[in-house]
């Protein structure tokens, strides 16, 4: 059964009236599906806020809950139960998709912990269009070049431009290609280094108290920014090399 982490107000089961905790997916007494609660992605799996996760156990729990919650199990149930099953399964799927991916998981947890993921966007001036604040912040964030890589990124962009021009003229410069390959290798290595640092910060965060967590959060935010930037570069180079 689902573990309940927080002490929540008991509510009565809609079907059998037995009281249970609000965040329970099924009534412990009659097993009927309950109206969706407002838990976060970790609580869906009965997990505490932790960055190191046992992925095999997560998958197993995902499959176990899917078997019980999926709309296929409620095809002939009442309209209410159908709606709850749909909402619960969407939450379960969203939670699994987020938690199984190390980067999404880190981002999500940082957001839960109230990390400021960027500065507020200016109010939109065009009345006809809608601003989507979060997206704009993300775009601003990923265009920031890491300070220690300014020189190398500049060189790489020059080479990419050169390669594009050569391609347009139908020419291949093997030397340029080789140099880009080496650059790619280097940046792939840097991504790997970021991932290792990120994991180290996970452990600090998971094991630390509030005082230790604060600097770990700051470090992780910077690492995520850096990683986004690096993987965009790697993607561009891969695209041009065609491999």
Partner 1 sequence: MAEGHVVGIDLGTTNSLVAYMEGDRPVVIPGVDGSNLVPSVVALDPITAKGGRPTVTVGNSARKALIETPERVIYSVKRLMGRDLEEVRTELKFFPFRLAGDIEAGEVPRIQLGELRFTPPEISAYVLRQLKRNAERFFGSPVTQAVITVPAYFNDAQRQATKDAGRMAGLDVLRLVNEPTAAALAYGLDRAKEGTIAVYDFGGGTFDISILKLRDGIFEVQSTNGDTHLGGDDIDNLLLTIALDEIYAEHGVDLRAHPGAVQGLRKAAIDAKIRLSTEQAANFDIELPNGDRYQREIPRAVFELLIEPVLKRTAVPCKQAMADAGVTPEQIDEVVLVGGSTRIPAVRALVDDLFHLGARGKKPHTELNPDEVVALGAAVQAGILAGASKTTDDMLLLDVTPLSLGIEQLGGTVARIIQRNSTIPASATEHFTTGVDGQTNVAIHVLQGERELAADCRSLARFDLKGIPPMAAGLPRIEVRFLIDADGILHVTAREQRSGKAAEIEVKPTYGLTDEQVENMILDSFDHAEEDFSRRLLIEARNEADTILAAVGRAPQNPAWNELSAEEQAAIAAARDRLVLIMQGSDLNAISQAMVALDKATRRFAELMMDAAVSSAIRGKTMNEAGKEVNDAVSAPHDFAPAEFK
Q: Which residues bind partner 1 (CB under 8 A)?
A: 63, 66-67, 70-73, 75-76, 86-87, 89-91, 93-94, 96-97, 123-136
The torsion region of residue 96 among left (phi > 0), alpha (psi -120 to 50) and beta comes to: alpha
Distance CA 47, CA 7 (A): 15
Query: Residue 92 Cβ, how far from partner 1 at the closest point, in Å?
Result: 9
The residue among 50 and 82 lying less far from partner 1, judged by its C-beta, is 82
The residue among 1 and 75 lying less far from partner 1, judged by its C-beta, is 75
Query: Residue 110 Cβ, how far from partner 1 at the closest point, in Å?
Result: 18
Query: Residue 122 Cβ, how far from partner 1 at the closest point, in Å?
Result: 9
Closest among 111, 162, 160, 158 to 137, alpha carbons compared: 111
92 within 8 A of 44, measured Cβ to Cβ:
yes
The residue among 21 and 138 lying less far from partner 1, judged by its C-beta, is 138
Buried b (16+ CB within 10 A) or exposed e, 141-164: beeeebeebeebbeebeebbeebe
88 within 8 A of 24, measured Cβ to Cβ:
no
Query: Residue 162 Cβ, how far from partner 1 at the closest point, in Å?
Result: 24
Closest among 100, 84, 98, 115 to 40, alpha carbons compared: 98
- Beta-ladder partners of 26: 33
Query: Residue 238 Cβ, how far from partner 1 at the closest point, in Å?
Result: 11
Query: Residue 136 Cβ, how far from partner 1 at the closest point, in Å?
Result: 8
Q: What count of other Cβ atoms lies within 10 Å of the Cβ of residue 171?
A: 10
The residue among 136 and 222 lying less far from partner 1, judged by its C-beta, is 136
The residue among 17 and 133 lying less far from partner 1, judged by its C-beta, is 133
The residue among 131 and 203 lying less far from partner 1, judged by its C-beta, is 131
Query: Residue 63 Cβ, how far from partner 1 at the closest point, in Å?
Result: 5
Q: What count of other Cβ atoms lies within 10 Å of the Cβ of residue 107?
A: 17
- DSSP letters, 155-214, are HHHHHHHHHHHHHHTT---HHHHHHHHHHHHHHHHHHHHHHHHHHHHHHHHHH--HHHHH
Q: How far is CA 169 from the centre of its chain?
A: 41
């Amino acid at each position: 059964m689902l573990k309940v982490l927080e002490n929540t107000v008991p509510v009565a089961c809609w079907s059998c009236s037995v009281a249970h905790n609000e965040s329970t997916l099924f009534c412990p007494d009659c097993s009927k599906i309950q109206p969706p609660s407002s838990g976060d992605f970790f609580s869906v799996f009965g997990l505490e806020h932790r960055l190191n996760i046992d992925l095999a156990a997560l998958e197993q729990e995902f499959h176990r809950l899917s078997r019980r919650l999926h709309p296929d199990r409620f095809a002939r149930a009442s309209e209410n139960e159908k709606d709850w099953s749909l909402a619960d399964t969407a939450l379960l799927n969203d939670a699994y998709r987020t938690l199984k991916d190390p980067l999404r998981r880190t981002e999500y947890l940082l957001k839960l912990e109230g990390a400021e993921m960027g500065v507020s966007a200016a109010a939109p001036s065009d009345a006809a269009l809608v601003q989507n604040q979060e997206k704009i912040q993300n775009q601003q964030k990923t265009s920031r070049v890491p300070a220690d890589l300014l020189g190398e990124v500049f060189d790489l962009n020059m080479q990419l431009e050169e390669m594009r021009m050569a391609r347009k003229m139908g020419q291949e410069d093997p030397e340029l290609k080789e140099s880009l390959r080496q650059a790619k290798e280097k940046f792939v290595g840097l991504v790997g280094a970021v991932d290792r640092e990120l994991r180290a910060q996970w452990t600090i965060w998971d094991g630390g108290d509030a005082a230790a967590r604060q600097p770990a959060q700051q470090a992780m935010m910077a690492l995520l920014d850096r990683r986004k930037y690096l993987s965009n570069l790697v993607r561009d180079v891969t695209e041009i090399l065609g491999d």
